[in-house]
Amino acid sequence: MKRNVNIILTAWGVFSLLAILFTFSRGVSLEKKHTIIIDLAERTKTEFFLSQKFHESFLLTGDTLSVPLLIEHLKIMEQNFDSIIHYIGKEASEVDPQSPEGFISQVPSMQDNLHEIESFFNKRENIQNTESQHELNKMFAAYNLRFKEFETGLQKYLSAENSDFKFISFLFKLGAFAALSVSLFFISKLLNRLRITEIMLVEKTVETEQKERNRIAADLHDDLGAILSSINLYLKILEAEVKEGKDVSSQIKNLRQLSDISLQRVKMAINNLEPLFLKKYGLVESVQRICESMNDLGKSQFEFDAQHFNLKLSPNTELIMFRVFSELTNNALKHSQASLVRMTLMSSKNTVILNYTDDGVGFDMASGQNNEKNKIGLKSIENRIESLGGSCQLKTAPGKGVSMQLRFRVTRQFTKKPSKTVNENE
């Protein structure tokens, strides 16, 4: 889910940036283009007005010096029309007269009119007679009519381009809004999922803590409670024998042994609540010491390998992992009947991986009763790993032992020294 949200937000950001750049650059270029075309059209209109003035001056005064100036204005008008076609980007012969660019189809006719007027003045023969003047007036009138149609078409063309640009801008805005809406939808789902996950983690933490309390209470009742009951019984016997004047040295010795055992059990209970050597030695060496203690019992061989573990965990994470290792070793001793137990702690980038295998009796995961009997503590392990945002994978079958992989992600920090492998022969 997080990956999907990041992809969508990135796509939305890139799309929005491209849309902004496109609309800005397109708007600037369009405005520049329209300004130039309008300026050329206005200058052409001015040149035509000046050519008419020179024509009228020639008719009134007969001054032939005005003719070259008139022809020069006509040539400027032709050049302006060529420039307008250049900025439109299409030739007059290529456009559909019904299209927005169709107005430029008028340009060749207007240029022909200008050529005719220019040719007429270049001849300079009988220009001032009535027939010639009538012919010139018809040429100027024809040009003027076409130019008005040209101006109308130009305004429609500019309006159509502006409308197209606004429509494209609207589509970009609509696309950006749609992408943002999808992003917000996924973000909302992600936040809701995180809230549900947080609630589940709190519930699992409470559940794990309650199971730990129940386990400690059971240990105190079954182990320390029985010893204290024995001490109380010996005290009653001792009291009776003292009154009778009997030798009570053996009872005192038994009481001393029971008191030593009870003291050891209290220390073990305290250590389960707050492992003092975990703070002193750290996770890896503490687990090594647990394995050494288990190997001294001679019941099962425990091998622990942490050569490829090079992350520094937080104190809280180390405590959780220590509880996990304790639960794994206790389960192995109580239920697995294994001769060999292997535990491997490693890290890959910022991921912690714990692999556990044993060659014990295993259990049937599909059988409810047998499952409950053989999975004592496994649910607690799963809850602890999930509280770190990790996952557990369990494989087992009757007679096939147990294989488990636990993994979770942490912030990467390297320890100074690599860890060693612990087995029975060390």
Position 415 scores a pLDDT of 47
Alpha-carbon distance of 195 to 201, in angstroms, equals 10
280-426 belongs to CATH 3.20.20.80: no
For residue 166, give the 3-state DSSP assignment: helix
In CATH, the architecture of 2-188 is Up-down Bundle (1.20)
Domain with CATH 3.30.565.10 in the chain: 280-426
Position 419 scores a pLDDT of 45
Q: Tell me which H or E stretch contains 423.
A: none
DSSP output for 220-234: IIIIIHHHHHHHHHH
Domain with CATH 1.20.1420 in the chain: 2-188
List the helix and strand counts (H, then E) for the chain: 11, 6
Predicted TM-score (pTM) of this structure: 0.46
Of 382, 363, 383, nearest in space to 373 by CA: 363
Position 2 scores a pLDDT of 59
Show pLDDT as tens, one digit a residue, over the chain (426 residues). Answer: 556 667 777 877 887 888 888 888 888 988 998 899 899 989 988 988 888 888 777 777 766 677 788 888 888 988 988 898 888 887 766 777 777 778 888 888 888 888 888 887 776 555 667 777 788 888 888 888 888 888 888 888 889 888 988 898 888 888 878 877 887 887 888 778 878 877 777 777 777 777 777 767 776 666 666 677 777 776 777 777 777 777 777 777 777 777 777 776 676 666 665 666 677 888 999 899 889 888 887 788 999 999 999 888 888 888 889 889 988 988 888 888 899 999 999 998 889 999 999 999 988 877 655 455 455 578 888 888 888 888 999 998 888 899 999 999 886 554 444 444 444 444
